[in-house]
A and B are shown apart, each in its own frame.
Chain A
Amino acid sequence: MAPVEKPKDFKGSMKKLIKYIGKYKIAVLIVMICAAGSTIFSVIGPKILGNATTVLADGLFKQIQGVGTIDMGKIGFILLAVLALYGVSAIFMFVQGWLMTGVTQKICYRMRREISEKINRMPLKYFESRTYGEVLSRITNDVDTLGMGLNQSITQVITSLCSIVGTLIMMLLISPLMTLIALVILPISAVIISVIVKFSQKHFRSQQEELGNINGIVEESYGGHLIIKSYNKEDETIDEFEKTNRKLYNSAWKSQFLSGIMMPLMMFVGNLGYAAVALSGGLLAIQGVITIGDIQAFVQYVKNFTQPIQQMSQVINQVQSMAAAAERVFEFLNEEEEQQLALNPVDVKKVRGDVEFEHVRFGYNEDKIIIHDFSAKVKQGQRIAIVGPTGAGKTTMVKLLMRFYDVNSGSIKLDGHDLRDFNRRELRDALGMVLQDTWLFNGTIMENIRYGRLDATDEEVIAAAKAAHADRFIRTLPDGYKMVLNEDASNVSQGQKQLLTIARAILADNPILILDEATSSVDTRTESRIQRAMNNLMKGRTSFIIAHRLSTIKDADLILVMKDGDIIEQGTHDELLKKQGFYCDLYNSQFEE
């Protein structure tokens, strides 16, 4: 009974959804007809079955008076008709279910697929301004909600409406007066529902709150397990937990109880209607206004009447959340995309590795320029280090080089060709990259390293791991190279993860390599060892290194010192030290005691 989310633009979203369903229109139409048909037939059913009872009662009456007998032939005929009716209704129901399930699943599949493809065409900017969870919930929750909504609500709206209208008509046909009596239960149920919802929501919320609290304690305690144990705080932690646990218990049973009250109360209202109908039916039957069979059928209708009404209120909520989900999915699918292909693309295979930055100007927002005027020339095979304080724009340079973003003005050229003249994906084949933010996927260590070059043999993978000084620790892990990294890759340490990503980049073997704080979590000794391995590897290739620890970039061919988005100094380590400028200060501050 959690509150329902509402779409911003219900009509618009529904229109888009209907358009998206497009090619399944005919199937959906059949579904709607079947739903209506199945409902109509099942609504007529009790009335006809009631006829059988009437015939039975009439026959009985005659039998009592000894003036006739029950006409079994007639009853049999009616019953067969009823059976046929229910059979047809069931077939309709089945066809409708079968078709709708297919349509829904196909739509969900297509939507998920389109979202996953869309992700790859969208600018990085989009994802950097949002949490992963936000995008993720569109693929999973929103598509699910949509699917569930589609699968159920379309048919349920139709069946509920049909059965409400159908039942109402049948009831009116039997007796308008009794119908009126039966309808009295509607406002009563509405009042009961709203009162209970109001009360239970209060407790529901407090239950959610306590649940959140207890989850907080659990997370904190399990996360800080080490500290709790080594400070002998087990007992106190448990006491605190039990206190919250108690509170949760109180709100949990209350909300559970209150939401559980709904059904018996609705049943009571239903029985109330039932009694009222039986009673009034009886009174009317005395006056000979209606027959006994009619009462019987009417009683059944009354029982069936409350159900679709409850369903309707659920369906309305479901349609609302479906529209909201559809809104978010379509919003995502309509986001701006990156231009993937160049008009006359330059062939990336011949790339040597000369890189030139010409008056590069860039900001993630037009009005917040980060890099003002960056120019530098890099020759093939040079090792370039980019240093500077946090926020100087080092990582931004890398993103520009990778064409995750395009420059606002100026240009970056690879072998004399503007980056924008390459096909985006091909360009990246020339560039290898290791980021501070290690990304590994749920798979074996072997698979993760092989990601760098999909056709690499096991031996090549292990060689790359050795070069990255990852081999030894991999072998200490359970299952070694075959160890499956868990979902957050939390079963290896941050430093180990970096070694794996470096191994991956080594295996990829691209003409240009970019290392963005690639060894920040690795100890210095391993770092310098990796560097040596890399030096061998990188001979004749251009490489860009961003590092916090200046010790690691001392022997770069060119050091670019960035501050506030501009290069303020450049040269080799020795040249820059001699200058006694910003770099010199930066370098010395590392050893200040």
Chain B
Amino acid sequence: MGKIFKNFVPYWKSVLLIVLLLTVQAMCDLALPQYTSDIIDTGIQNCGVSHILPEKITKYEYDCAAAFMTDSEKQKFEPAYEADGSSYKLVITDEKILEKLDSELIVPVMLNYQASKFPTESIESMVGSKLPSGALDSLKHTKIKEENADGDVVEVDCVDARPLVLNANREQIISKMREMTEKQLKAMGSDTMRSSGIAYAVEMDRLAGVDVDGKQTAYLWMSGLKMLLVAMLLTAAAIFAGFFAARVGSGVGMTLRGRVFRKVIGFSNTEIDKFSTASLITRTTNDIQQIQMVSVILLRMVLYAPIIGIGGVIKVINTGASMWWVIALAVAAIVVVVLTLTGIAMPKFKLMQKLVDRVNLVSREILTGIPVIRAFGREQREEERFDEANTALTKTTLFTNRVMTFMMPIMTVLMNMVSVLIVWVASGHIKDGNMQVGEMTAFITYAMQIIISFLMLTIMSIMLPRAAVAAGRIDEVVNTESSVTDSPDSVEFDINDGVVEFKDVSFRYPGAEEDVLSGISFTARPGSTTAVIGSTGSGKSTLVNLIPRLYDVTAGEIVIDGRDIRKIKMKSLRDKIGYVPQKGILFSGTIESNLKFGNKNATDAEMVNAASIAQATEFIDEKPNGYDSEIAQGGTNVSGGQKQRLSIARAIAKNPKIYIFDDSFSALDMKTDKMLRAALKDEVGDSTVVIVAQRISTIMDAEQIIVLDEGRIAGIGTHRELLKNCAAYLEIARSQLSESELNLGEDGELNG
């Protein structure tokens, strides 16, 4: 985890910005349900009216309302209105004051409202005395539909009882009613009361001729518009967050890629061998690509989850609905379910990738080995081997997939249970008057958001370990130090002569049982050719690779011009070495760019000269673009022999003091080989030449031939000397040369 996060450190500013943008996004995301609930609660249920004081009120109703008020209430009520013709108009527009008045005046307003629609049946008990018949006739009657105890809808006759109330022993009745209403207020909760108050306000407005429907429509439009604006802000925030996340993610990829590449280029062969080139390529490409993808996901989703989670929690607390425990329960349940399921499936998940690789590997081997498999009649064995891999993969996949099939249904059931539970619990609260329907709807939405954010986090916690593996693989490279480095006491050293001296050199590959080279001592002098010959695996290539410090010796030392090469700065050492490897390696570009690879300042004449020594001019000139001819990646558009000649020319163009040809002539035919060596001899007269070869003919005229056998020197000398006194050399010679060429016909040893 930390391995992934530490990549963000250089981008902390952008990350901070992303957090800010995500916060905006989360706020918008959370605000949206509020607008829906506004539309439902206020817009539809309350006709777009949010306060209990009507906007306009008729004089009669104004007086009625005032009649139910105490003196202190009247003092608040009366200044809020101004006479406007035959009615009164509300002059306060400040939301906060209106809000305050809502709670202060709710009791008298409700008293007034209830008195205006009093069930006819119970009116006598309220007034406290039997009313004369016909007393209600002059009053205004309304019919209210209501469900009775059996659930049937019945019409209840109500009457505007205010004239009665106000005429009779007013004080007594009002105080009795007030007592009841206050009790009711406690029982119903202020929210419900307010809704009733608003219903009153709506009725009053209508009565005073206010266009309530128009107002309601306007309110709905307004809310819709606000919702749209918030949605736009949300989208904008999300897009900008995405923009920065994309840049940071790609930046992380770029930085890592650069760092790994630099590191690998600095590696010596030992580290390259340790990781293997293929693995290093995967680490630099796929692994980093994966980190890049995960980084974006981290910045966009994983970061968002806690933000919206926290926001959701705040909103939930603000609704004042004491139902947070439902959410906590749901979150706990989800975390438990996800962790249990992944806990079961995770080990198998990790195994799965390996099994997929295994199936791929076995199939690839079967495909590439068809002739051999058939020749050995091992079809059955291969089928069994494949079946083994196939069965293992199928079983594991089946297991993990089946475990995961639990996930979806359980999650949906959980989420739905949460909404059902919320509705149930909220119903109770609403019944008690502590909540409104719209609030419940909003609560469900917030709850879902919180739960989903937790779900996200848990799912991410499954994804992250996989990326962590890639991060670990990258770290491994970054934390590996090259085993061949400039030591502190190394200096710039100008190699003038190029005398290469091996002093009792041994070398062993890390982890190998035996030395590849042991006790090697010889001196390669300027102006002469030192050839190394020996069987496959005798250590020839390893020996010459030690000179440019592609590896460092494990024992003994290599000395050039009297100085241990480990005490020469690598740059100045390699500047003077012209190294030609076994395989002709070219780089994409042109022939020219490849030839001038080692010496940018080489003139065209020098380049052509190098090419002609390497016997390459013929085929270069044949190409329509000559030296400007394209070389494809890996040099695939030139033949093996041509590649080899170009890589030889590349070394010559560098004009080095020491030439190393690591079996570089094997891809050439005999004739070219000979001409090339002759030209080389003329040109590089005073350089030190070390040649590794398989063909005796290539090295027959070398001043010094070193015969390697199983990592040790089996003989040093000229061709003639070695034929006489080195059995290993003789054996090689016999396998390649005709008797006449061996020129040893008289020698009895040969036939023995």
Contact = CB atoms under 8 A, between A and B. Distances in A.
B322 interface: no
A496 B536 CA distance: 7
B339 interface: no
A250 to B, nearest CB: 8
A228 B364 CA distance: 32
- Secondary structure of the A contact surface, majority rule: helix
B558 interface: no
Contact of A490 (B184, B217, B278, B516): B278
Nearest to B226: A275
Contacts, number: 467
B376 A428 contact: yes
A480 B571 CA distance: 36
- Secondary structure of the B contact surface, majority rule: helix
A257 B401 contact: no
A139 B548 CA distance: 45
A451 B300 CA distance: 53
A496 B423 CA distance: 75
B243 interface: yes
B50 interface: no
Given A63-B188, A525-B535, A451 B378 contact: yes
Given A451-B378, A472-B710, A508-B376, A245 B257 contact: yes
B419 A275 contact: no
A222 B269 CA distance: 11
A246 interface: yes
Contact of A593 (B273, B373, B598, B671): B671
A242 interface: yes
Nearest to A260: B242
Interface in A354-375: none
A292 B45 contact: yes
Contact of B577 (A72, A230, A469, A522): A230
Contacts of B268: 229
Interface stretch (A278-286, A412-420, A564-572): A278-286
A25 interface: no
A522 B534 CA distance: 11
A232 B571 contact: yes
Contacts of B408: 93-94, 97
Contacts of A76: 424
Contacts of B433: 63
Which residue, A69, A75, A216, has most C-beta atoms of chain B within 10 A? A75
Contacts of A195: none
Which residue, A260, A272, A593, has most C-beta atoms of chain B within 10 A? A260
Given A132-B368, A233-B597, A216 B633 contact: yes
B402 A102 contact: yes
B509 A68 contact: no
A276 B35 CA distance: 12
Interface string A106-145: 1011001100110110001001000010011001100000
A126 to B, nearest CB: 9
A303 B269 CA distance: 59
A53 B371 contact: no
B531 to A, nearest CB: 14
A253 B250 contact: yes
Contact of A402 (B374, B397, B647, B735): B374
B506 interface: no
Interface string B658-688: 0000000000001100100000000000000
A120 B536 contact: no
Contacts of B370: 119, 124, 127
Interface in A504-531: 508, 521-529
Given A90-B409, A234-B265, A229 B537 contact: no
Nearest to B694: A523
Contacts of A429: 377
B379 A425 contact: yes
A72 B431 contact: yes
A151 interface: yes
Which residue, B377, B381, B574, has most C-beta atoms of chain A within 10 A? B377
A248 B300 contact: no
Contacts of A527: 735
Nearest to A62: B146
A278 B184 CA distance: 33
21 contacts: A60-B195, A60-B431, A65-B196, A68-B146, A76-B424, A86-B417, A97-B408, A116-B382, A116-B387, A215-B285, A226-B550, A227-B585, A439-B365, A441-B365, A521-B536, A523-B535, A525-B731, A526-B535, A528-B734, A552-B735, A593-B674
